Chains A and B, each alone.
Chain A
Amino acid sequence: MPQTANKLYIAQTRFIFHCHCKIKIPIEFSDSILDNCFDLMECIDKQYNSHREQSYFDLINRHAGSWVTVDQTTINLIRQLIRISEVTDGAYDITSVPLIRLWGFYDQGVKSMPSPKAIEEALRVVDYKKIDIKENQVMIEKGQEIGTGSFLKSYAVDKVAERLRENGITDAIINVGGSTICGINDENHTRWQVNVPDREEPIYISNKAFCLSASANNFVEINNQRFGHILNAKTGLPSATVQAGVISDSAFLSDALSTAIFALDQKTESKVMEKLKENFEFTYFRK
């Protein structure tokens, strides 16, 4: 396997999507390409991040119960996410924000476990089927809220990879928050090595995107017990999974699928995994 030893790259890291985003390209290219890619990421963050005021998803959430006019990208994203939710039988659901809030993953202020009644109440509004799309308009039910945390940064990674390829770059890596890593490779540098925590063997990606969902660093501690940040949107309970990693052609798909696979419970796992494999092309690990 031909590998170029000591090949030099230029890299920049910036804080976008509430995490560190790194782009690395060969040294012969100008760093203005990096600037351009980060501008693109910031633009996506501003336009679609549900935590950004006046973004399309923020407007949908603010005007829950009314039709909101959005752009085609928002419609496409929602349609694809609904498809993943359908295949995972609702274990993955972008409307699970009220549940996440209930468990205290946003403000870290929750010190007691939510009561079954509170979980039940939150689950009433967690339902991707209640997202209505009509031409270029979207409406969610009152009390519902869409969160972009499980897919937006990865969508941005796909767009940056596209932009790099347009600029003639055939060897690069994009690492967003450590959980979304996209490698671009050519015949001189055929693969990127990705070191995954708590895993002896590294993972190799070649013109693919790897996404990791894990609960080692992202959890709340209630009564000395740790609960991971990824919840099963069907049960309303945190998953017992430690790690789930997905490799596919698209970072967007890898991210959504890794979250979905992480959230699966043992009862439904085999059935849902079969359906996922029928519908999407990807490789994964889960422990």
Chain B
Amino acid sequence: MKIKSILLYIIGVLFLFFGNKNFWNDLKVEKEKEKIRQKESEAAKINIKKKFEVQSLQYDSINGQWKNPHFYFQLINVSYVNFSPANKAKKTVIESNDDENASDSQ
């Protein structure tokens, strides 16, 4: 009697899992999505790597220094740059002439 109850309980649980078609479908879809996500992530990693140029350094044993034989750009901190309009720029020039030109442009 006891074994029969246990068997029925197990069969019930199995039906609960394997008899639910939607559950298996959702599981399949989720697995597919996960695969796509993984592929995209790997592709993105490759793309990021492509954007960076890998430059190999050469060691100058005579001077004891590492040298970069490639062209490269360095970031330079130029501190505050005044981007105010040109007409506000105060540019003083030195002149020596003693004549001026008249015009009717204004």
Contacts and interface: CB of A to CB of B under 8 A. Distances in A.
Interface of A: 3, 6-15, 17-19, 24, 27, 31, 34-35, 38, 153, 173, 175-179, 181, 189, 192-197, 202-203, 210, 212-218, 243, 245
B98 A212 contact: no
B92 A178 contact: no
A12 B95 contact: no
A12 B103 contact: no
Contacts of A216: 104
19 contacts: A6-B96, A7-B96, A9-B94, A9-B96, A10-B93, A12-B90, A12-B92, A19-B105, A19-B106, A31-B90, A179-B104, A181-B102, A193-B100, A194-B99, A194-B100, A195-B99, A196-B102, A215-B104, A218-B106
Main secondary structure of the interface of A (DSSP, over half): strand
Nearest to B87: A15
Given A173-B100, A212-B103, 11 more contacts: A10-B92, A11-B93, A11-B94, A12-B92, A12-B93, A24-B95, A31-B92, A177-B105, A193-B100, A194-B100, A217-B105
B100 A192 contact: yes
Interface residue tally of chain B, by bracket? 10 to 19
Interface in B67-106: 87, 90-96, 98-106
A285 B49 CA distance: 77
Interface string B8-48: 00000000000000000000000000000000000000000
Contacts of A202: 99
B85 to A, nearest CB: 10
Given A3-B98, A19-B106, A194-B100, A14 B87 contact: yes
Contacts of A175: 100
A186 to B, nearest CB: 13
B106 A197 contact: no
What secondary structure prevails in chain B residues at the interface with A?
A: loop
Nearest to A195: B101
Nearest to B89: A14
B103 A197 contact: yes
A218 B92 contact: no
Nearest to A177: B106
Given A34-B92, A35-B90, A192 B102 contact: no
